[in-house]
């Protein structure tokens, strides 16, 4: 049985830039699914868990690069996972 591969990326953005980051992710609807990692709430940053189709990996990496031009975006994890 074949599983679909997904990209999985976790990024860290400054808390005061998190609303703009969410806006950008929503404006690029369909690029990825994302959620906030609960442990980062209450910190000075937000860790966002991004998952999406491998075909769209380049687009999400481009979006991250564009965000990095505006404020620090740390990539905490980059991997491929099975969609189960």
Cα–Cα distance between 22 and 68 in angstroms, integer? 14
- Stretch 34-46: mean pLDDT, rounded? 94
Say what the pLDDT of residue 1 is: 44
Distance CA 6, CA 76 (A): 17
What span, in angstroms and rounded, lies between the C-alpha atoms of 29 and 38? 22
Domain extent, residue 54, equals 4-83
The pTM (predicted TM-score) of the whole model is 0.90
The partner residues of 4 in beta bridges, in order of sequence, read 83
pLDDT at 3 over 70: no
Mean pLDDT value across residues 12-18: 97
How many domains does the chain contain in total?
Answer: 1
Residue 35 clears pLDDT 50, i.e. is over it = yes
Residue 49: CATH number of its domain: 3.30.70.2040
């Amino acid at each position: 049985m074949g599983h679909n591969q997904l990209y999985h990326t976790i990024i860290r953005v400054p808390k005061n830039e998190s609303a703009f980051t969410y806006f950008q992710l929503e404006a690029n609807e369909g690029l990825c699914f994302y959620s906030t990692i609960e442990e980062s709430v209450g910190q000075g940053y937000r860790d966002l868990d991004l998952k999406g189709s491998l075909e769209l990996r380049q687009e999400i990496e481009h979006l991250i690069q564009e965000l990095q031009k505006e404020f620090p975006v740390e990539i905490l994890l980059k991997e491929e996972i099975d969609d189960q």
